[in-house]
């Protein structure tokens, strides 16, 4: 460890850009991994964050605050986490229709999911699939 620190590795700008790109891709992948959490009003989230900050640390409080539904950028992601499960189901059983997938995986609270649910899920599955392909292409095992 000490030897490593004495001899810093020269980092080329291209390497740095590649690392940034990898982090961006992982960040996108991450949006498919976590349920967005309950949609609490901002005041409740802030009150919770402040309470946690007193008990823990402001960093942990901020992290929980963000996971709990406050996303740093872009529109709130409230349903992407089901895309991976739907994609897996479709791979295992290609005969499943969009609507069947929506019945099984759509996270909205309708009793019967409709064509809009199916279309949203299809788009999320497509985005996730494209992202996985891109990662596999740019970072082959
Ligand atoms: Zn639905």
Contact yes or no for 129/12 (Cβ under 8 A): no
Over residues 19-25, the mean pLDDT reads 85
88 alpha carbon to ligand 1 midpoint, in Å?
Answer: 19
Over residues 2-25, the mean pLDDT reads 76
Cβ burial of 121 (10 Å; 0-12, 13-18, 19+) is buried
41 alpha carbon to ligand 1 midpoint, in Å?
Answer: 22
Dihedrals φ, ψ of 26, to 5°?
-65, -40
Gap between the Cα atoms of 15 and 11, Å rounded: 6
For residue 27, name the pLDDT band (cuts at 50, 70, 90): confident
When computed from its CA atoms, the radius of gyration of the chain, rounded to whole angstroms, is 20
8 alpha carbon to ligand 1 midpoint, in Å?
Answer: 52
99 alpha carbon to ligand 1 midpoint, in Å?
Answer: 10
pLDDT digits (tens, 9 = 90+) for 86-102: 999 999 999 999 999 99
130 alpha carbon to ligand 1 midpoint, in Å?
Answer: 23
Gap between the Cα atoms of 120 and 98, Å rounded: 10
Gap between the Cα atoms of 77 and 67, Å rounded: 11
51 alpha carbon to ligand 1 midpoint, in Å?
Answer: 34
pLDDT digits (tens, 9 = 90+) for 28-65: 888 787 665 555 667 777 787 787 778 777 787 777 77
For residue 78, name the pLDDT band (cuts at 50, 70, 90): low
102 alpha carbon to ligand 1 midpoint, in Å?
Answer: 6
């Amino acid at each position: 460890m000490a030897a490593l620190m004495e001899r810093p590795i020269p980092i080329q700008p291209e390497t740095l850009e590649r690392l940034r790109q990898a982090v961006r891709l992982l960040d996108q992948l991450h949006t498919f991994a976590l349920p967005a959490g309950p949609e609490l009003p901002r005041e409740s989230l802030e009150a919770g964050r402040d309470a946690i900050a007193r008990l823990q640390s402001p960093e942990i409080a901020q992290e929980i605050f963000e996971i709990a539904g406050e996303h740093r950028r872009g529109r709130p992601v409230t349903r992407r986490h089901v895309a991976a499960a739907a994609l897996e189901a479709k791979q295992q059983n290609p005969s499943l229709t969009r609507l069947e997938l929506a019945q099984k995986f759509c996270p909205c609270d309708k009793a019967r999911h409709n064509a809009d649910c199916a279309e949203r899920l299809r788009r999320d599955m497509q985005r996730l699939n494209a992202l996985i392909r891109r990662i596999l292409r740019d970072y082959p095992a």
